[in-house]
Amino acid sequence: MTRVIHTGDTHIGYQQYHVPERRQDFLAAFRAVVRDAIDDDVAAVVHAGDLFHDRRPTLSDIMGTLDILEELAAADIPFLAVVGNHEAKRDAQWLDLYASLGLATRLDGEPTVVGETAFYGLDFVPRSKRDDLDYDFAPHDADYAALVTHGLFQPFDYGDWDASEVLTESSVDFDALLLGDNHKPGKQEVEDAWVTYCGSTERASASEREDRGYNIVSFDDGVRITRRGLETRDFVFVDVELDAEEGIERVRSQVGQYDLDDAVVIVSIDGDGEPIAPASIEEYALDHGALVARVTDHRELAADERETSVSFADPDDAVAERVRELGLSGAARDIDETVRASKVADSNVQDVVKDRVSNLVEENPEALDAAAGAAGDGDTATGDDDSAATAETDGGDADEESTAAEPEPDAAGGGEDQSLEEFL
């Protein structure tokens, strides 16, 4: 018998809601999976992609993951994995680094045999490149075979890739497809094989209300898939339907019925009732111990209840004024000029800026420090735009080819872990 843990979508490094504690939660969830694997003495931990949240993890995320994988290796349990869309790079992958240290195996078209099962891997493939796949896998002589891959597959929700096509076109008869990308767990039988998602190990969006966990897959007289939950930070979901005469006190009363200590509190307001300032509810939750509070009022306000402000200021002038207010050093203003207003071709901006920064830092390590006292009298921006951002659904990224674009900088901004690459 071959018994493995099937996990994925750990998204290590995601500082959700711009809160450092949430960043640690994603790493802690992965550590919990590994320790369960050690306690259960499974044959392997199989990771179906998106180990990291993006392709430029910080040094602390890289080292934290390294520490966990060393713990797994010390128990003589292999870590088998593929690359997901969030972490994929154009050159060598972070998974390759861990493989070079003997801490991981990057699955591919050659079989990696553990016990009685041959494991194969297929990294995330953008939709535009799937027609070029030949599904040619090397033969094996094991009793079972499983393909580990990352993507949104039919017949599951959000699927844009037919699992039956993969199974029928492949040169190997797979007994199971172990999938990542859809954060909602599930399993179905397709073409005489079990196709299963393990779900994410932490909630990457407020839409992920179900408990988090992973799969245990056993290959013995067939394929058996069971699920085990993980203890993660509490998310408190408060859905309030207001009647015509109800308002903020009703919402506070509903929120106050829950234990909010160190929880992420998500409040959703529908119905009628009085207009409510979300900030007042969020403040109430924070005062009662919540780590994070987010309020969404789904009601449509009448046009005369909305305040609209329109400005016809020249956008370039507005940006230039704001840059002046930031109190940047001369070197930083020079870089801003290169990025925003110079005649350097867009395709060459990154290389030009990288060379400029390298020269500046070599000449003077403090060249990019803010001008002393330049911004002392200005307002400090403390806005949190996470609540206005579109939340990731269980289906993963809406843009399947997001790996080709530059990742967004860490929303927490700067900090000790920000690398030179992230700055660029």
pLDDT (tens digit per residue) in 177-186 = 999 999 999 9
Cβ proximity of 278 and 296 under 8 Å: yes
How much is the pLDDT for 255? 97
Q: What is the pLDDT of residues 8-43, one digit of tens each?
A: 999 999 999 999 999 999 999 999 999 999 999 999
Full DSSP string of 324-341: HHTT--HHHHHHHIIIII
Note the pTM of the prediction, 2 decimals.
0.73
* Residue 238: closest CA among 213, 263, 262: 263
Peptide bond into 407 cis (omega under 30): no
Please tell me the predicted confidence (pLDDT) of residue 326. 63
What pLDDT does 60 receive? 96
**pLDDT grade for 296, boundaries at 50, 70 and 90:** very high
Q: What three-state secondary structure class fits 4?
A: strand
Instruction: Report percent pLDDT > 90 for the chain.
Output: 68
pLDDT band, residue 360 (cuts 50/70/90): low
Residue 156: pLDDT above 70? yes
Phi first, then psi, for residue 132 (nearest 5°) are: -85, -5
Name the 3-class secondary structure at 186.
strand
Q: pLDDT tens digits, residue range 362-409?
A: 556 555 555 444 433 333 333 333 333 333 344 444 333 333 333 333
Instruction: Give the Cα separation of 218 and 321 in Å (integer).
Output: 62
Active site residues: 86
